[in-house]
A and B are shown apart, each in its own frame.
Chain A
Amino acid sequence: MSLTARYADIVCRAVAADRPEVLESVLAEAFELGRELCELTLPPDEVMQYHHQAIVELAAKQPDLRLAQIAPRLTAPLLELSMAYGLAFRQQADFQQRHELQRRLEQASRLESIGTLAAGVAHDFNNILGSIIGFAEMTGDALPEASRERRNIEQIMQASHRARDLVARLLTFARQQPETLETVNVLTQVREALGLARASINSAIEMSLHSEFSEVLMLADSGHVQQIIMNLCLNAQDAMQAAGHIRLSIIRAPDSQGSLAQFCLCVRDSGSGMLPEIQAQVFNPFFTTKEPGKGSGLGLSVVHGIVAQLGGKVEIQSNMWGPERGTAVNIQLSALGLQPLQEKPLNEVF
Protein backbone atom coordinates (compact mmCIF):
# COMPACT_ATOMS: atom_id res chain seq x y z
CA MET A 1 0.00 0.00 0.00
CA SER A 2 1.35 3.44 -0.89
CA LEU A 3 1.98 5.95 1.85
CA THR A 4 -0.91 8.18 0.76
CA ALA A 5 -3.24 5.18 0.66
CA ARG A 6 -2.06 4.11 4.12
CA TYR A 7 -2.82 7.53 5.53
CA ALA A 8 -6.23 7.70 3.80
CA ASP A 9 -7.01 4.32 5.31
CA ILE A 10 -5.98 5.53 8.77
CA VAL A 11 -8.26 8.59 8.45
CA CYS A 12 -11.17 6.39 7.32
CA ARG A 13 -10.73 4.08 10.26
CA ALA A 14 -10.33 6.97 12.71
CA VAL A 15 -13.66 8.37 11.55
CA ALA A 16 -15.33 4.99 11.73
CA ALA A 17 -13.85 3.95 15.11
CA ASP A 18 -16.66 3.09 17.49
CA ARG A 19 -14.62 2.33 20.63
CA PRO A 20 -11.91 4.47 22.27
CA GLU A 21 -9.35 1.64 22.16
CA VAL A 22 -9.90 1.21 18.42
CA LEU A 23 -9.34 4.94 17.88
CA GLU A 24 -6.22 4.79 20.05
CA SER A 25 -4.68 2.00 18.01
CA VAL A 26 -5.48 3.81 14.75
CA LEU A 27 -3.85 6.99 16.09
CA ALA A 28 -0.79 4.95 17.09
CA GLU A 29 -0.53 3.92 13.46
CA ALA A 30 -0.69 7.60 12.42
CA PHE A 31 2.11 8.35 14.83
CA GLU A 32 4.24 5.56 13.38
CA LEU A 33 3.56 6.80 9.86
CA GLY A 34 4.71 10.30 10.90
CA ARG A 35 8.09 8.90 11.97
CA GLU A 36 8.42 7.02 8.73
CA LEU A 37 7.64 10.13 6.65
CA CYS A 38 10.34 12.05 8.47
CA GLU A 39 12.87 9.30 7.91
CA LEU A 40 12.03 9.43 4.23
CA THR A 41 12.80 13.18 4.50
CA LEU A 42 9.46 14.10 3.06
CA PRO A 43 8.97 17.89 3.25
CA PRO A 44 6.32 19.06 5.78
CA ASP A 45 4.06 20.64 3.15
CA GLU A 46 3.82 17.30 1.38
CA VAL A 47 2.65 15.76 4.65
CA MET A 48 -0.26 18.25 4.58
CA GLN A 49 -1.04 17.13 1.04
CA TYR A 50 -1.56 13.60 2.35
CA HIS A 51 -4.22 14.88 4.70
CA HIS A 52 -6.08 16.84 2.04
CA GLN A 53 -6.02 13.88 -0.27
CA ALA A 54 -7.34 11.60 2.47
CA ILE A 55 -10.28 13.96 3.15
CA VAL A 56 -11.10 14.19 -0.54
CA GLU A 57 -11.09 10.39 -0.78
CA LEU A 58 -13.20 10.04 2.34
CA ALA A 59 -15.75 12.57 1.07
CA ALA A 60 -15.95 10.70 -2.26
CA LYS A 61 -16.38 7.31 -0.58
CA GLN A 62 -18.95 8.46 1.96
CA PRO A 63 -20.88 11.38 0.43
CA ASP A 64 -23.36 11.46 3.30
CA LEU A 65 -20.68 12.20 5.91
CA ARG A 66 -20.99 15.66 7.47
CA LEU A 67 -17.35 16.68 7.62
CA ALA A 68 -17.96 19.53 10.06
CA GLN A 69 -19.42 17.09 12.61
CA ILE A 70 -16.54 14.68 12.44
CA ALA A 71 -13.82 17.37 12.34
CA PRO A 72 -12.12 16.27 15.62
CA ARG A 73 -11.94 12.68 14.33
CA LEU A 74 -10.48 13.96 11.06
CA THR A 75 -7.79 16.11 12.61
CA ALA A 76 -6.73 13.62 15.31
CA PRO A 77 -4.64 11.47 12.91
CA LEU A 78 -3.09 14.63 11.41
CA LEU A 79 -2.10 15.82 14.89
CA GLU A 80 -0.51 12.46 15.71
CA LEU A 81 1.24 12.35 12.38
CA SER A 82 2.60 15.91 12.69
CA MET A 83 3.69 15.37 16.26
CA ALA A 84 5.66 12.25 15.34
CA TYR A 85 7.07 13.98 12.29
CA GLY A 86 8.17 17.01 14.35
CA LEU A 87 9.77 14.87 17.05
CA ALA A 88 11.68 12.76 14.57
CA PHE A 89 12.74 15.89 12.69
CA ARG A 90 14.15 17.46 15.85
CA GLN A 91 15.96 14.27 16.77
CA GLN A 92 17.50 14.14 13.32
CA ALA A 93 18.59 17.78 13.51
CA ASP A 94 20.05 17.29 17.00
CA PHE A 95 21.92 14.26 15.84
CA GLN A 96 23.34 16.07 12.82
CA GLN A 97 24.34 19.07 14.91
CA ARG A 98 26.06 16.90 17.50
CA HIS A 99 27.78 14.96 14.78
CA GLU A 100 29.02 18.17 13.15
CA LEU A 101 30.22 19.60 16.48
CA GLN A 102 31.99 16.37 17.27
CA ARG A 103 33.67 16.39 13.87
CA ARG A 104 34.89 19.98 14.31
CA LEU A 105 36.15 19.28 17.79
CA GLU A 106 38.06 16.27 16.59
CA GLN A 107 39.60 18.22 13.75
CA ALA A 108 40.59 21.08 16.04
CA SER A 109 42.24 18.81 18.56
CA ARG A 110 43.98 16.84 15.85
CA LEU A 111 45.39 20.03 14.34
CA GLU A 112 46.39 21.24 17.78
CA SER A 113 48.29 18.06 18.64
CA ILE A 114 49.99 17.94 15.27
CA GLY A 115 50.98 21.55 15.84
CA THR A 116 52.61 20.76 19.16
CA LEU A 117 54.35 17.78 17.66
CA ALA A 118 55.51 19.88 14.71
CA ALA A 119 57.04 22.50 16.99
CA GLY A 120 58.99 19.87 18.88
CA VAL A 121 60.23 18.12 15.76
CA ALA A 122 61.09 21.45 14.15
CA HIS A 123 63.42 22.37 17.00
CA ASP A 124 65.42 19.15 16.71
CA PHE A 125 65.30 19.36 12.97
CA ASN A 126 66.86 22.82 12.98
CA ASN A 127 69.72 21.52 15.10
CA ILE A 128 70.31 18.70 12.63
CA LEU A 129 70.10 21.06 9.67
CA GLY A 130 72.53 23.37 11.43
CA SER A 131 75.12 20.59 11.48
CA ILE A 132 74.48 19.59 7.86
CA ILE A 133 74.73 23.17 6.58
CA GLY A 134 77.75 23.98 8.70
CA PHE A 135 79.79 20.90 7.75
CA ALA A 136 78.79 21.22 4.09
CA GLU A 137 79.80 24.86 4.03
CA MET A 138 83.22 24.16 5.56
CA THR A 139 83.81 21.28 3.17
CA GLY A 140 82.70 23.42 0.21
CA ASP A 141 85.00 26.27 1.20
CA ALA A 142 87.96 23.87 1.16
CA LEU A 143 87.26 22.64 -2.38
CA PRO A 144 88.42 24.27 -5.66
CA GLU A 145 85.82 26.74 -6.86
CA ALA A 146 84.82 25.23 -10.22
CA SER A 147 85.04 21.59 -9.15
CA ARG A 148 82.20 19.12 -9.44
CA GLU A 149 82.58 18.33 -5.72
CA ARG A 150 82.09 21.99 -4.85
CA ARG A 151 78.92 22.08 -6.97
CA ASN A 152 77.69 18.94 -5.23
CA ILE A 153 78.24 20.55 -1.85
CA GLU A 154 76.28 23.55 -3.06
CA GLN A 155 73.44 21.16 -3.90
CA ILE A 156 73.55 19.84 -0.33
CA MET A 157 73.36 23.43 0.93
CA GLN A 158 70.44 24.24 -1.33
CA ALA A 159 68.56 21.12 -0.28
CA SER A 160 69.18 21.98 3.36
CA HIS A 161 67.84 25.47 2.85
CA ARG A 162 64.72 24.00 1.30
CA ALA A 163 64.34 21.81 4.36
CA ARG A 164 64.81 24.87 6.58
CA ASP A 165 62.02 26.71 4.72
CA LEU A 166 59.78 23.70 5.12
CA VAL A 167 60.40 23.71 8.87
CA ALA A 168 59.57 27.41 8.98
CA ARG A 169 56.28 26.70 7.22
CA LEU A 170 55.55 23.90 9.62
CA LEU A 171 56.10 26.26 12.50
CA THR A 172 53.74 28.81 11.03
CA PHE A 173 51.15 26.08 11.02
CA ALA A 174 52.03 25.22 14.59
CA ARG A 175 51.19 28.85 15.40
CA GLN A 176 54.33 29.29 17.40
CA GLN A 177 55.73 32.04 15.27
CA PRO A 178 55.72 35.31 17.17
CA GLU A 179 53.93 37.64 14.83
CA THR A 180 54.41 41.37 14.59
CA LEU A 181 50.87 42.57 14.85
CA GLU A 182 50.22 45.92 13.29
CA THR A 183 47.38 47.70 11.59
CA VAL A 184 47.52 46.64 7.98
CA ASN A 185 45.38 47.53 5.00
CA VAL A 186 44.33 44.16 3.70
CA LEU A 187 43.63 45.60 0.26
CA THR A 188 47.23 46.81 -0.11
CA GLN A 189 48.57 43.48 1.14
CA VAL A 190 46.35 41.56 -1.25
CA ARG A 191 47.45 43.73 -4.19
CA GLU A 192 51.11 43.16 -3.33
CA ALA A 193 50.59 39.41 -2.93
CA LEU A 194 48.73 39.18 -6.24
CA GLY A 195 51.54 41.08 -7.91
CA LEU A 196 54.04 38.60 -6.48
CA ALA A 197 51.87 35.61 -7.33
CA ARG A 198 51.41 36.85 -10.89
CA ALA A 199 55.11 36.36 -11.51
CA SER A 200 54.94 32.67 -10.72
CA ILE A 201 51.50 31.83 -12.05
CA ASN A 202 50.92 30.61 -15.59
CA SER A 203 50.09 33.63 -17.78
CA ALA A 204 47.13 31.80 -19.35
CA ILE A 205 45.43 32.08 -15.97
CA GLU A 206 43.53 35.31 -15.56
CA MET A 207 43.83 36.90 -12.11
CA SER A 208 41.51 39.58 -10.85
CA LEU A 209 40.64 41.45 -7.69
CA HIS A 210 37.20 42.70 -6.79
CA SER A 211 36.62 44.80 -3.69
CA GLU A 212 33.66 46.55 -2.12
CA PHE A 213 36.02 48.64 -0.04
CA SER A 214 38.75 51.16 -0.66
CA GLU A 215 40.35 50.30 2.68
CA VAL A 216 40.15 47.26 4.93
CA LEU A 217 42.08 47.75 8.15
CA MET A 218 42.84 44.91 10.48
CA LEU A 219 45.32 43.90 13.15
CA ALA A 220 47.61 41.31 11.57
CA ASP A 221 51.10 40.45 10.51
CA SER A 222 51.49 41.71 6.96
CA GLY A 223 53.51 38.65 6.01
CA HIS A 224 50.63 36.45 7.07
CA VAL A 225 48.08 38.10 4.82
CA GLN A 226 50.44 37.76 1.89
CA GLN A 227 51.17 34.15 2.72
CA ILE A 228 47.46 33.31 2.77
CA ILE A 229 47.00 34.80 -0.69
CA MET A 230 50.12 33.18 -2.11
CA ASN A 231 49.21 29.73 -0.78
CA LEU A 232 45.65 29.96 -2.07
CA CYS A 233 46.71 31.24 -5.50
CA LEU A 234 49.26 28.46 -5.92
CA ASN A 235 46.65 25.86 -4.96
CA ALA A 236 44.20 27.44 -7.40
CA GLN A 237 46.77 27.21 -10.18
CA ASP A 238 47.39 23.55 -9.42
CA ALA A 239 43.66 22.86 -9.65
CA MET A 240 43.55 24.13 -13.23
CA GLN A 241 44.74 22.36 -16.35
CA ALA A 242 46.21 25.25 -18.29
CA ALA A 243 43.90 28.22 -18.60
CA GLY A 244 41.27 29.51 -16.24
CA HIS A 245 40.77 32.26 -13.73
CA ILE A 246 41.53 33.09 -10.13
CA ARG A 247 39.14 35.67 -8.72
CA LEU A 248 39.86 37.29 -5.44
CA SER A 249 37.13 39.27 -3.77
CA ILE A 250 36.86 41.29 -0.59
CA ILE A 251 33.27 41.76 0.44
CA ARG A 252 31.23 42.46 3.55
CA ALA A 253 30.48 39.26 5.47
CA PRO A 254 26.81 38.26 5.23
CA ASP A 255 26.39 38.09 9.00
CA SER A 256 28.52 41.11 9.81
CA GLN A 257 27.38 42.74 13.03
CA GLY A 258 28.67 44.28 16.23
CA SER A 259 31.40 46.82 16.66
CA LEU A 260 33.96 44.80 14.73
CA ALA A 261 32.83 44.63 11.14
CA GLN A 262 33.43 41.30 9.47
CA PHE A 263 34.63 40.90 5.94
CA CYS A 264 35.17 37.99 3.60
CA LEU A 265 38.28 37.35 1.62
CA CYS A 266 37.38 34.89 -1.09
CA VAL A 267 39.67 33.17 -3.57
CA ARG A 268 37.72 31.39 -6.28
CA ASP A 269 39.18 29.35 -9.10
CA SER A 270 37.76 27.67 -12.18
CA GLY A 271 39.70 24.49 -11.51
CA SER A 272 38.67 20.88 -11.28
CA GLY A 273 36.96 21.08 -7.89
CA MET A 274 37.24 18.44 -5.18
CA LEU A 275 35.37 15.37 -4.06
CA PRO A 276 33.76 15.75 -0.62
CA GLU A 277 36.13 13.16 0.86
CA ILE A 278 39.12 15.20 -0.36
CA GLN A 279 37.53 18.41 0.95
CA ALA A 280 37.22 16.86 4.38
CA GLN A 281 40.99 16.42 4.58
CA VAL A 282 42.46 19.52 2.98
CA PHE A 283 43.30 21.23 6.27
CA ASN A 284 45.25 18.25 7.58
CA PRO A 285 48.98 18.89 7.50
CA PHE A 286 50.85 16.90 4.87
CA PHE A 287 47.65 16.00 3.05
CA THR A 288 48.21 16.63 -0.64
CA THR A 289 46.76 15.49 -3.93
CA LYS A 290 49.77 16.78 -5.81
CA GLU A 291 52.44 14.53 -7.24
CA PRO A 292 55.30 13.55 -4.92
CA GLY A 293 57.74 16.43 -4.73
CA LYS A 294 55.19 18.96 -5.99
CA GLY A 295 53.43 19.88 -2.79
CA SER A 296 54.27 19.72 0.87
CA GLY A 297 50.66 19.41 1.96
CA LEU A 298 51.12 22.40 4.23
CA GLY A 299 49.58 25.22 2.17
CA LEU A 300 46.06 25.03 3.51
CA SER A 301 47.19 23.94 6.99
CA VAL A 302 49.21 27.12 7.17
CA VAL A 303 46.24 29.17 5.96
CA HIS A 304 44.08 27.49 8.59
CA GLY A 305 46.66 28.19 11.29
CA ILE A 306 47.03 31.86 10.39
CA VAL A 307 43.30 32.47 10.11
CA ALA A 308 42.68 30.77 13.45
CA GLN A 309 45.38 32.94 14.99
CA LEU A 310 43.63 36.01 13.61
CA GLY A 311 40.35 34.83 15.13
CA GLY A 312 38.70 34.15 11.79
CA LYS A 313 37.30 31.12 10.05
CA VAL A 314 37.90 29.39 6.74
CA GLU A 315 35.32 27.56 4.66
CA ILE A 316 35.65 25.75 1.39
CA GLN A 317 33.04 25.29 -1.30
CA SER A 318 33.87 23.10 -4.22
CA ASN A 319 32.01 21.90 -7.28
CA MET A 320 33.25 19.38 -9.78
CA TRP A 321 30.49 19.96 -12.31
CA GLY A 322 28.26 22.69 -13.66
CA PRO A 323 28.78 26.39 -14.29
CA GLU A 324 30.05 26.89 -10.72
CA ARG A 325 32.80 24.34 -11.24
CA GLY A 326 35.89 25.11 -9.19
CA THR A 327 36.80 25.80 -5.62
CA ALA A 328 36.17 28.83 -3.47
CA VAL A 329 38.03 29.39 -0.23
CA ASN A 330 36.17 31.85 1.97
CA ILE A 331 37.96 33.46 4.85
CA GLN A 332 35.98 35.51 7.30
CA LEU A 333 37.88 38.00 9.42
CA SER A 334 37.21 40.92 11.74
CA ALA A 335 38.19 44.37 10.54
CA LEU A 336 39.16 47.39 12.60
CA GLY A 337 37.71 49.56 9.90
CA LEU A 338 36.04 49.15 6.55
CA GLN A 339 35.88 52.01 4.08
CA PRO A 340 33.16 51.17 1.54
CA LEU A 341 33.54 52.49 -1.98
CA GLN A 342 30.98 55.20 -2.65
CA GLU A 343 30.42 54.51 -6.31
CA LYS A 344 31.04 51.23 -8.07
CA PRO A 345 33.17 48.44 -6.62
CA LEU A 346 36.82 48.15 -7.52
CA ASN A 347 37.86 45.67 -10.21
CA GLU A 348 41.47 45.14 -11.15
CA VAL A 349 43.19 42.66 -13.41
CA PHE A 350 46.65 41.36 -12.64
Chain B
Amino acid sequence: MAHILLIEDDPQFAEMLQQMLEQDYHRVTSAADGEVGVRLAGEVKPDLILTDILMPKLDGIEAILALRKQGQAAPIIAMSGGRRSITADFNLESAELMGVSATLSKPFTRAQLRDAINQALK
Protein backbone atom coordinates (compact mmCIF):
# COMPACT_ATOMS: atom_id res chain seq x y z
CA MET B 1 0.00 0.00 0.00
CA ALA B 2 1.19 3.46 -0.82
CA HIS B 3 1.73 6.73 0.93
CA ILE B 4 -0.29 9.24 -1.05
CA LEU B 5 -0.02 13.02 -0.94
CA LEU B 6 -3.42 14.51 -1.71
CA ILE B 7 -3.46 18.13 -2.90
CA GLU B 8 -7.07 19.31 -3.13
CA ASP B 9 -8.65 22.64 -2.21
CA ASP B 10 -12.29 21.50 -1.94
CA PRO B 11 -12.46 20.24 1.68
CA GLN B 12 -15.47 18.00 1.09
CA PHE B 13 -13.95 16.35 -1.96
CA ALA B 14 -10.63 15.97 -0.13
CA GLU B 15 -12.37 14.30 2.83
CA MET B 16 -14.16 11.91 0.47
CA LEU B 17 -10.95 11.01 -1.33
CA GLN B 18 -9.05 10.53 1.91
CA GLN B 19 -11.68 8.08 3.18
CA MET B 20 -11.78 6.26 -0.14
CA LEU B 21 -7.99 5.91 -0.24
CA GLU B 22 -7.76 4.84 3.40
CA GLN B 23 -10.39 2.17 2.82
CA ASP B 24 -7.98 0.76 0.24
CA TYR B 25 -5.29 0.81 2.98
CA HIS B 26 -3.33 3.74 1.58
CA ARG B 27 -1.75 6.26 3.93
CA VAL B 28 -2.87 9.79 3.10
CA THR B 29 -1.23 13.15 3.75
CA SER B 30 -3.54 15.98 2.83
CA ALA B 31 -2.73 19.50 1.58
CA ALA B 32 -5.35 22.18 0.92
CA ASP B 33 -3.43 24.06 -1.75
CA GLY B 34 -0.49 23.74 -4.10
CA GLU B 35 1.93 25.68 -1.92
CA VAL B 36 1.41 23.46 1.12
CA GLY B 37 1.42 20.42 -1.18
CA VAL B 38 4.83 21.20 -2.63
CA ARG B 39 6.27 21.83 0.84
CA LEU B 40 4.79 18.61 2.23
CA ALA B 41 6.03 16.61 -0.75
CA GLY B 42 9.58 17.55 0.19
CA GLU B 43 9.00 16.52 3.80
CA VAL B 44 6.97 13.31 3.62
CA LYS B 45 8.44 11.75 0.45
CA PRO B 46 5.16 10.23 -0.83
CA ASP B 47 4.92 7.24 -3.19
CA LEU B 48 2.27 9.00 -5.23
CA ILE B 49 0.87 12.53 -5.58
CA LEU B 50 -2.79 13.11 -6.38
CA THR B 51 -3.34 16.77 -7.24
CA ASP B 52 -6.21 18.96 -8.31
CA ILE B 53 -5.52 21.33 -11.20
CA LEU B 54 -7.57 24.43 -10.49
CA MET B 55 -6.63 25.70 -7.05
CA PRO B 56 -5.99 29.02 -5.34
CA LYS B 57 -2.42 30.15 -4.59
CA LEU B 58 -0.34 27.66 -6.50
CA ASP B 59 -2.52 25.81 -8.99
CA GLY B 60 -1.94 22.23 -10.03
CA ILE B 61 0.14 22.90 -13.11
CA GLU B 62 2.46 25.21 -11.18
CA ALA B 63 2.57 22.67 -8.37
CA ILE B 64 3.60 19.94 -10.81
CA LEU B 65 6.34 22.21 -12.18
CA ALA B 66 7.56 22.97 -8.66
CA LEU B 67 7.51 19.30 -7.71
CA ARG B 68 9.55 18.40 -10.78
CA LYS B 69 12.02 21.16 -9.97
CA GLN B 70 12.27 19.77 -6.47
CA GLY B 71 13.39 16.50 -8.05
CA GLN B 72 10.26 14.74 -6.88
CA ALA B 73 10.30 11.24 -8.35
CA ALA B 74 6.82 10.15 -7.20
CA PRO B 75 4.31 9.61 -9.98
CA ILE B 76 1.61 12.28 -10.22
CA ILE B 77 -2.09 11.92 -10.97
CA ALA B 78 -3.82 15.14 -12.07
CA MET B 79 -7.53 15.65 -11.37
CA SER B 80 -9.84 18.32 -12.64
CA GLY B 81 -13.46 19.33 -12.58
CA GLY B 82 -14.02 18.23 -16.12
CA ARG B 83 -11.28 18.40 -18.68
CA ARG B 84 -13.61 20.60 -20.64
CA SER B 85 -14.25 23.36 -18.23
CA ILE B 86 -10.90 24.91 -17.67
CA THR B 87 -8.96 27.23 -19.87
CA ALA B 88 -6.57 25.81 -22.40
CA ASP B 89 -3.48 26.87 -20.44
CA PHE B 90 -4.30 24.94 -17.35
CA ASN B 91 -6.04 21.85 -18.52
CA LEU B 92 -5.45 18.19 -18.11
CA GLU B 93 -3.85 18.01 -21.53
CA SER B 94 -1.12 20.33 -20.30
CA ALA B 95 -0.72 18.07 -17.31
CA GLU B 96 -0.45 15.10 -19.65
CA LEU B 97 2.23 16.90 -21.63
CA MET B 98 4.09 17.51 -18.40
CA GLY B 99 4.35 13.80 -17.92
CA VAL B 100 1.78 13.03 -15.25
CA SER B 101 1.07 9.33 -14.94
CA ALA B 102 -2.69 9.56 -15.22
CA THR B 103 -5.50 12.07 -15.32
CA LEU B 104 -8.95 11.95 -13.76
CA SER B 105 -11.95 14.01 -14.76
CA LYS B 106 -14.22 14.88 -11.88
CA PRO B 107 -16.63 13.40 -11.05
CA PHE B 108 -15.05 9.95 -11.20
CA THR B 109 -15.94 6.59 -9.70
CA ARG B 110 -14.00 4.52 -7.22
CA ALA B 111 -13.08 2.09 -9.98
CA GLN B 112 -11.62 4.88 -12.10
CA LEU B 113 -9.60 6.12 -9.13
CA ARG B 114 -8.25 2.63 -8.46
CA ASP B 115 -7.31 2.18 -12.14
CA ALA B 116 -5.46 5.49 -12.17
CA ILE B 117 -3.55 4.62 -8.99
CA ASN B 118 -2.60 1.17 -10.26
CA GLN B 119 -1.45 2.65 -13.54
CA ALA B 120 0.63 5.32 -11.79
CA LEU B 121 2.25 2.89 -9.34
CA LYS B 122 3.07 0.30 -12.00
Question: Digit string of B84-113 for contact with A (CB within 8 Å is 1, else 0)?
Answer: 111010010100000000000111111000
Question: Digit string of B46-90 for contact with A (CB within 8 Å is 1, else 0)?
Answer: 000000001000000000000000000000000001111110100
Decide: A130 and B84 in contact? CB cutoff 8 A: no
Decide: B107 and A133 in contact? CB cutoff 8 A: yes
* B17 contacts A by Cβ under 8 Å: yes
Given A131-B16, A137-B110, A178 contacting B85 (CB threshold 8 A): no
* A202 contacts B by Cβ under 8 Å: no
Decide: B16 and A135 in contact? CB cutoff 8 A: yes
Cβ of B26 to closest chain A Cβ, rounded Å = 14
Decide: A126 and B107 in contact? CB cutoff 8 A: yes
A127 CA to B86 CA, complexed, in Å: 13
Which residues of B pack against A, CB within 8 Å?
10, 12-13, 15-17, 19-20, 23, 54, 81-86, 88, 91, 93, 105-110
Partner of B85, one of A123, A135, A137: A123
Cβ of B113 to closest chain A Cβ, rounded Å = 8
* A124 contacts B by Cβ under 8 Å: yes
A123 CA to B86 CA, complexed, in Å: 7
* A168 contacts B by Cβ under 8 Å: yes
Contacts of A123-151 to chain B: CB distance below 8 A: 123-135, 137-138, 141
Cβ of A111 to closest chain B Cβ, rounded Å = 17
Partner of B110, one of A123, A127, A132, A138: A138
Residues of B within 8 A of A120 (CB): 85
A19 CA to B15 CA, complexed, in Å: 98
Residues of B within 8 A of A133 (CB): 107-109
Decide: B20 and A167 in contact? CB cutoff 8 A: no
Given A130-B16, A131-B16, A178-B93, A137 contacting B82 (CB threshold 8 A): no
A123 CA to B13 CA, complexed, in Å: 13
Q: List 29 A-B contacts (CB under 8 A).
A: A122-B81, A122-B84, A123-B85, A123-B86, A125-B81, A126-B82, A126-B85, A126-B105, A126-B107, A127-B10, A127-B81, A130-B10, A131-B10, A131-B12, A131-B16, A133-B107, A134-B13, A134-B17, A137-B109, A137-B110, A138-B19, A138-B20, A160-B107, A167-B82, A168-B82, A171-B84, A171-B85, A176-B84, A178-B93
Cβ of B89 to closest chain A Cβ, rounded Å = 13
Cβ of A281 to closest chain B Cβ, rounded Å = 26
A174 CA to B88 CA, complexed, in Å: 14
Given A123-B85, A171-B82, A138 contacting B108 (CB threshold 8 A): no
Decide: A122 and B109 in contact? CB cutoff 8 A: no
Decide: B106 and A126 in contact? CB cutoff 8 A: yes
Cβ of B85 to closest chain A Cβ, rounded Å = 4
Given A119-B85, A178-B84, A178-B93, A130 contacting B106 (CB threshold 8 A): yes
Residues of A within 8 A of B84 (CB): 119, 122, 168, 171-172, 176-178
